Structure 1
Amino acid sequence: MTDATWITIISLGVTFLFMMGTPVLLIIFYWVVGCSFVLDLTLDNTGAEMLNVFKDGFALMAMPLFILTGDLINKSGIAKRLSDFAYACLGWLRGGLAMASLGACGLFAAISGSNSATTATIGSMLHPEMVKGGYDERFSAATAAAGGTVGIIIPPSIIFIVYGFLMNLPISDLFVAGILPGTLMVVGMQLACWIICRINGWGYLIPLQLNRVLKTAFGAWLGFFAIGLVLWGIYTGKFSPTEAAGVTVGFCIFAGLVSYPINKIMGANGEKPVSDKSFAEMFAVEGFTLPEIPSIVVRSAQISGILAPLIAVSVVMQQILSLLGAQQTIGDFVTSMGGYHAVLFTSMVIVFFSGMVLESLPVTIILAPILAPIAASVGIDPIHFSVIFLVGASIGFITPPYGLNLYVASGVTGVPYFRLLRYTVPYLAALISVWVLVSLVPDLALALLPNR
């Protein structure tokens, strides 16, 4: 049999295994190993390439720190304060808690810069509250997964850094270009959430009170400060994104350690909701003690241990696809489409379907160097195309069979992967609508940039 026949058989085989419930990591790994044998690539080469992903991948150095930041924010109570503020603003609407969780994802993304950390933190924190509030557990888990998609669009974002490095574009411009599209993604998902919750009658309503909003805003000041610290440091060039993650980790540890004894003295730890505390009590978050830090680090390491192999094996998969001529084929196909909108639409379709089977990092590494020059040749602004490309890649986090956020949400909520799929459909529709809007209206990505 020919190599093409063997690869087809291997692909069909791993598809069957996926349908039987085999973990995604093993599915990709089996495909990589099988194709390596067909192409006469040694397993030594596969292992070495997987190791090089982390040895030479500068952007990935920030991943454990961003994940640790998320866990520290969660444990210290900063994430809870941000979600309380979002709920105070949106709780008067049907489905307000679910909408608040999406808003909290947007705020958290502005600190962590990670889709998976956003999903893991908000999912583990608010999923139990949503279930208690009468929401379907599958919808609640799918909401956390969908909310995490903004983690790589709202700055800071590791994947924007990777894209900027590959395509020689200014990182600061990419960050600014992601602000409006990321905000639109949150608003679009909140609208879809509101419609679904109204249809099903989910969620309890609370009155909109200015006093509650102001108190929760004051209570979330540490979260807002952390967001401002990250953005200020990166935009002014005071530190790199990896250093920004390290600085934020240090800030969260300091805030958590200092806040715990303050709240202990006040007797405020866990006794009443933020909106009922005095302004003095809200000055410090709940915090944590020094002996608790190792357990927080271990939890972050566990999540990193889930994600790192997936990224590594996906990059090796990219190399095999390159050997199979996939890059050349894609380039020739898109070029043959012709004009502005034809190239734009074709590129979006390719990114969407690639995101269904690959993580955003290999999608960017494989496709950005192919599609971006073609897009530029037909007059598409490079910054605008970068946003279009990465919004499409972010949608892949909730599209099967890969759907990394679905995988993470399933892990932190205990809801089986396949039971989440039905409830991601409204969020997919909202995200795709925003994606199309951003692609057709360049000013949504370029309006905040100077000299545009």
Structure 2
Amino acid sequence: MLSLFGAVLGLVLINVPIAVSLGIVATLAMVASHGLSSLPNMPVVIYNGATNFPLLAIPLFILAGAIMNASGISSRLIAFAAALFGWVRGGLAHVSIGASLFFAEISGSAVADVAALGSLMIPGMKAKGYPAPYAAAAMSSAATLAVIIPPSIPMILYAVMAESSVVQLFVAGIVPGILGGAGLMGVASFLARRYNLPREDRFSWQRVRKTAREALWAFLLPIIILGGIFGGVVTATEGAALAVLAALFVGLFIYRELDMAHLRAAIMEGGVQTAVVMLLVATSALLGTYLTEVQAPQALARAVSDFTQTKWVILLLLNILFLFLGMFLHSAAAIILVVPIVMPLVRAAGIDPVHFGLIVTINLGIGQQTPPVASVLMVACSIAKSSVWEVSRVNIWFIAVLVSVLLLVTYVPVTGLGLVNLFYK
């Protein structure tokens, strides 16, 4: 099993696409163990792996986020966040974090979050004299909230791979997401004093009311969609379809900023992001089938159980594993590749699958901030035109908040499971 992971990582490090790496290693492993007779079954495995019904929520949420971004929702959320937080020292960083909290309820993707909001906020901060590394670090870490606060694409993937409840995972992410946002704002305030950053505007209730009215539909959309999912009216997949229809309605008939050119660009963006994720899902199904046939998950569970049976030590080991994987793998690849393998161990240790799903999600969100892969950080650095290492030196303060949330969720389970237990158990 370790040799397979080593082969995948080796191919990734020489710039072979992750999906292709998974497919190559899985194919070679299947042929080596079962011979050429296994080749005809591989297309069926790949097709079945990518056509799981709950996975339809992923392209739909991605498309909804792209349409909403093209509909002027991002600018209205930023305006409202500026009215709420712009009066504090270093207020634009707080605006970035606050806008990410709202946009996270729409996109479900940290990359989409930083691309949509960062393209507006990072140049704005630089124009006001904010150091480029600070602007990129604040926006990058704030975007990670999009994978913690529902709807979250990594949570959907985890729920499918672990055969867990995506709705309960969404609920579990609410409190940690809010705590993460508050912690990031605390760090932003500390660094704002350190850099002697300015206050932007005086607080005005009139401005808050005005921007709130303009952003009303931006607030109603997640309430309607997530309310339907949490209330059991629609499934996560149906909720994602509802999100697309709602985004089209708002863009075409309410804000009237969505024309055919913007719609075409949104569809293309959604298609590209979906292709990346679904190709990973399809090729990883091959490797998952091979590992299941050789009983690798059971072997891992036995090995760890022989080492320790203490639940909290096992969680520590799993945290270290996913933090490491997050540095090298796309979050979707890490979930698809590893979660099915460790789930027998998780269940044997008596760990709640929803609790573990939240831990995995936060771990991989941190991985989006830590080089060498650091997909979200790279987008922020590109927008800020700043060195990855310069940004990382500032970002370490924000990452410390995310790690604190991870430890709190891991060892104080009620942080994430409190609302789940209240409403569903």
Q: TM-score, normalised by structure 1?
A: 0.78
Distance 1:7 1:112 in 2: 31
Could you report, residue by residue, the CA deviation over 1:179-221 in whole angstroms, capped at 9, with x for unpaired residues? 1011112222222222223222345432222222222222211
Sequence identity percentage: 30
1:139 aligns with 2:109: no
Match of 1:287? Answer: 257
Shift of 1:116: 2.4
Contact 1:7 1:35 (8 Å CA) reproduced: no
1:171 and 2:171 correspond: no
Name stretches of at least 5 consecutive residues in structure 1 with no aligned partner: 260-284
State the Cα deviation string for residues 370-414 of structure 1 (Å, max 9, x = none): 444544444444433332232223222222233232344456666
Gap regions ≥5 residues in structure 2: none
TM-score (norm 2): 0.82
Cα distance change, pair 135–53 in 1 and its aligned pair in 2 (3 A) = farther
Q: Return the letter of the residue paired with 2:311.
A: Y
Which of 354, 358, 366 is the matching residue for 2:325? 354
Structure 1 residue 317: Cα displacement: 6.6
Q: CA deviation at 1:255?
A: 1.7
| 1:65 aligned partner | 60
The 8 Å contact of residues 372 and 385 in structure 1, kept in 2 or not, is answered as no
Q: For the residues of structure 2 that align with 1:325 and 1:65, how far apart are their CA atoms? A: 34
1:94 aligns with 2:64: no
Distance 1:117 1:7, change over 3 A: closer
User: Which is further off, 399-408 or 306-315?
Assistant: 306-315
Amino acid at match of 1:385: F
Alignment correspondent of 1:120: 115
Q: Deviations 1:312-349 (Å, cap 9, x if unpaired)?
A: 56666767877998645643443222213212212211
Tell me which residue corresponds to 1:262: none
The one-letter code of the counterpart of 2:200 is L
Q: Does 1:255 align with 2:225?
A: no
* Equivalent of 1:298 in 268, 281, 289: 268
Q: Which residue of 1 aligns with 2:315?
A: 344
Contact 1:348-1:388 within 8 A present in 2 as well: yes
Q: Return closer, same or farther for 1:77/1:311 CA change in 2, 3 Å cut-off.
A: same
Residue in structure 1 matching 2:301, options 296, 319, 331: 331
Change (3 A) 1:416 1:380: same
> How far apart, CA to CA, are the structure 2 residues paired with 1:171 and 1:238?
14
Q: Distance in 2 between matches of 1:36 and 1:379?
A: 34
Q: 1:301 to 1:411 in 2, by over 3 A?
A: farther
Give the structure 1 partner of residue 224 of structure 2: 229
**How far did 1:29 drift?**
4.1
CA contact (8 A) 2:297 2:340 kept: no
- What residue is the counterpart of 1:398 in the other structure? 369
What displacement does 1:299 show? 3.6
Cα displacement string for residues 124-173 of structure 1 (whole angstroms, at most 9, x for unaligned residues): 23222222222233333333332222222211223333433444443332
1:302 deviates by 4.2
Q: Tell me if structure 1 keeps the 8 A contact 2:55–2:156.
A: no
Highest RCO, 1 vs 2 (Cα 8 Å, sep ≥ 6):
2
1:206 aligns with 2:194: no
**What residue number does 1:442 align with?**
413
Cα RMSD, aligned residues only: 3.7
- Aligned partners of 1:311 and 1:359 also within 8 Å: no
